Structure 1
Amino acid sequence: MTNRPPSEPESSQRTALGFDEFIAILVAFTTIGAILFWSLSRRDSSWNFNGLLSSSTPSPSVQPNQLLPSTPKVEPNVVPNNILPYSAPEAVVEPTTLPTNSPAPYPAVLPPVLVIPAQPTQLDTPVSPSAGLEPSITSSALPLVTPAKQKSIIPPPIAFNDVPTNFWGRRFIDVLSSRSILKGFPDYSFRPNQPVNRAEFAAIVQKAFDQEPSKTAIAFQDVPTKFWATPAIDRAISGGFLTGYPKKTFKPQENISRVQVLVALVSGLNLKAPTSPNQVLSVYKDAKDIPPYAIGKIAAATTNGLVVNYPNPQILAPNKVASRAEVAAMIHQALVKRGKLEPISSPSIVRRDSLPQASPSASPEISPTPKVKLSPGGSPQ
């Protein structure tokens, strides 16, 4: 066996820590502890870990009581130029005063926060109580439109099957039928030549005139309370158009004459007789047939354009029974006199200035008549 030199002992896996290394570790831990202690003891917003995690760029450290470099320094109670002139003083928030005896350092003081209201609209502008709404109305882009007055719409006249276009009274009948003053019969006929009785005339007067009652209605013995024309008769009596007969009779079924129609219209319209009635009536060739009680009334009807004579304007025919067409023409002329209708042109309308004077032989002068006591119906007793 060969003698070999003893092998070197294997190096230990654990080497003892040197003195220098121990001092370095101690200093490192001391430094770390001091940093942690210092960081936990101060309350600085710049050490906000949430802000550090959310921000990709580190923000520079801010020393205590130091203003942010990007914010201009603003003195307290000084309103910058960007404050609108009508901003209230309450819009400026004053900074908080730092306590002097606080042991911990306080964060940086931000400049005063300026609250600027949004751009005001027209509604935000204060309005004086005494100021009206005219400025806002004037500045409106849309023009003011005043609603026009509603015009009355007149329906068309009734097309009666027995009133030809060339009939002398067609225009008078059309005007009154379009205003429901005159109506026809169920078979669409007007029957222009049919006579009119006193009750029918009272009904026409009631529809044509809005005369205020001036007399008290009379309870006639021959007019029943439930008679169809009783309200119209009462209105014609109280309006002064018609009168009754003796013994409180009205005779509603009696046909009315042309002179009675004209006398009724003149009385209801309260027209005054001219000073020289005989001279006015000289235009009629049959002036001698006018009843004495009606001379003044017929003269007033002539001067006011109420008389309509067909076919000859110089023939009055006062005692002839009035037809429906003649009543329509005279009622139309009375409404023209009242200003309710527009005048129409017709050769049948008697106008004294346009008619030749009747010859003395044809129409003798009407002598003054003695006073005659008249009945309430307008006819002599």
Structure 2
Amino acid sequence: MTNRPPSEPESSQKTALGFDEFIAILVAFATIGAILFWSLSRRDSSWNLNGLVSPSPTPSRSVQPNQVLPFPTPKVEPNAAPNNVLPSSPPEAVVEPNTPAFPTSSRTVLPSAQVISTQSPQPQTTVSSSTGLKSSALPLVTPAKQKSIIPPPIAFNDVPNNFWGRRFIDVLSSRGILKGFPDYSFRPNQPVNRAEFAAILQKAFEQDPSKTAIAFQDIPAKFWATSAIDQAISTGFLKGYPKKTFKPQQNITRVQVLVALVSGLNLKAPTSQNQILSVYKDAKNIPTYATSKIAAATANGLVVNYPNPQILAPNKAATRAELAAMIHQALVKRGKLEGISSQNIVRRGSPSQASGSVSPKFPPIPRQNLKSLSQR
């Protein structure tokens, strides 16, 4: 006879809830209710349960020593125009329109607020945090008289301050009419040839050619002063020699310089030529073809003689300093430059007037100095 295992008791369909389990469930519901009640009562505080449930919580900002926190968003009154605020820019104040529709007293000006203007640029406005009053910065004032664009003269190392032609040289060098040499020298006593004189005339007067150029036989095709010579010929300052020659390397004399300036400026010959030329002790040395031109140059203040105003020395080669003085006087006559007071400028009148009218700022040179200068 086979032994059978004892039959298992059948499980009950309903199990009764024990006392301990009932207490645990009750405590759990009470805890959840207390947490919900506490979170709802602390809703206005900065710490709430919404931050725990949010999928992308905003990290709290830690203030660093050199970090500047952004400005708080200013509150704009309802009557402010919202179209003046840029949507993507930091919080900024709204600018009132320049119309009397909104009075100034009805607005609250926020300190540290940036102002956006849709009109033309206005002076910068600063706001006082204590009084709330606006104070406009002074606008930039443009001077009515513009500063001179003429650069200072070149400080040539061989033109001392007491040199007789220093002021004439300074005026022309500052305007680029006369230039020095690479060693910062001017060489005031160096003669000037006809090609160099044509180049100086071109820079000084800047006239447009009025006649056709002459093809001189002694000027190469690529000569450095070809354009200056053509301009000097076409404007009437210079003339050529027979057989279509110009002689560009020939030194130009003082009388030729004065004749060229009178011809180029179209100065008329005065009627009393002999009286005017009597101011020169060496008037007999003036060539016959140039007497009327020299009289016109003297009457118009173009003649500058050093050291003695009564000595013209017409056939002497003109130096760079003498040429600077005569070119300066020609530009004064044309109204391009202001006159300079100098005892070496020959004035129209008698010999006594020519040598005796001296500006008080420039006393006459003693005779012993004149002799020593003439012997150099």
Q: Judge conservation of contact 2:276–2:350 (CA < 8 Å) in 1.
A: no
Q: From the CA coordinates, give the structure whose radius of gyration is larger.
A: 1
Q: Judge conservation of contact 2:347–2:353 (CA < 8 Å) in 1.
A: no
TM-score (norm 2): 0.56
1:332 partnered with 2:328 = yes
Q: Judge conservation of contact 1:215–1:240 (CA < 8 Å) in 2.
A: no
Aligned counterparts of 2:231 and 2:323: Cα–Cα separation in 1: 18
Aligned to 2:6: none
Q: Judge conservation of contact 1:273–1:299 (CA < 8 Å) in 2.
A: yes
**Correspondence 1:48-127 to 2 at 5 A:** 122=99
1:221 partnered with 2:217 = yes
Could you give the per-residue CA deviations for residues 202-252 of structure 1, whole angstroms, max 9, x where no partner exists? 000000002232322111111112100111111111111001001110000
Give the one of 192, 198, 207 matched to 1:196.
192
Name the CA shift for 1:342/1:291 in 2 (closer, same or farther; >3 Å): same
Give the one of 309, 316, 321 matched to 1:313.
309
Aligned to 2:300: 304
**Correspondence 1:163-312 to 2 at 5 A:** 163-312=159-308
Could you give the per-residue CA deviations for residues 320-367 of structure 1, whole angstroms, max 9, x where no partner exists? 000011000000100111111110111100002374279xxxxxxxxx
- Mean Cα deviation higher: 346-355 or 255-264: 346-355
SS at match of 1:232: helix
SS at match of 1:356: helix
Q: Which amino acid counterpart does residue 195 of structure 2 have in structure 1?
A: A
**Stretches of structure 1 lacking an aligned partner (at least 5 in a row):** 1-118, 126-140, 359-381
SS at match of 1:353: coil
SS at match of 2:349: helix
Aligned to 1:160: 156
Aligned-pair identity in percent equals: 84
1:341 partnered with 2:318 = no
Q: Which amino acid counterpart does residue 261 of structure 1 have in structure 2?
A: V
Aligned counterparts of 2:289 and 2:173: Cα–Cα separation in 1: 33
Q: Which amino acid counterpart does residue 243 of structure 1 have in structure 2?
A: K
Q: Judge conservation of contact 1:241–1:264 (CA < 8 Å) in 2.
A: yes
SS at match of 1:352: coil
Length, aligned pairs only: 225
Could you give the per-residue CA deviations for residues 236-279 of structure 1, whole angstroms, max 9, x where no partner exists? 11111001001110000000000000000000011000012111
Name the CA shift for 1:284/1:156 in 2 (closer, same or farther; >3 Å): same
Aligned counterparts of 2:284 and 2:98: Cα–Cα separation in 1: 88
TM-score (norm 1): 0.56
Q: Judge conservation of contact 1:257–1:318 (CA < 8 Å) in 2.
A: yes
RMSD, matched Cα: 2.4
**Stretches of structure 2 lacking an aligned partner (at least 5 in a row):** 1-95, 103-135, 355-376
Aligned counterparts of 2:164 and 2:212: Cα–Cα separation in 1: 38
Aligned counterparts of 1:301 and 1:287: Cα–Cα separation in 2: 14
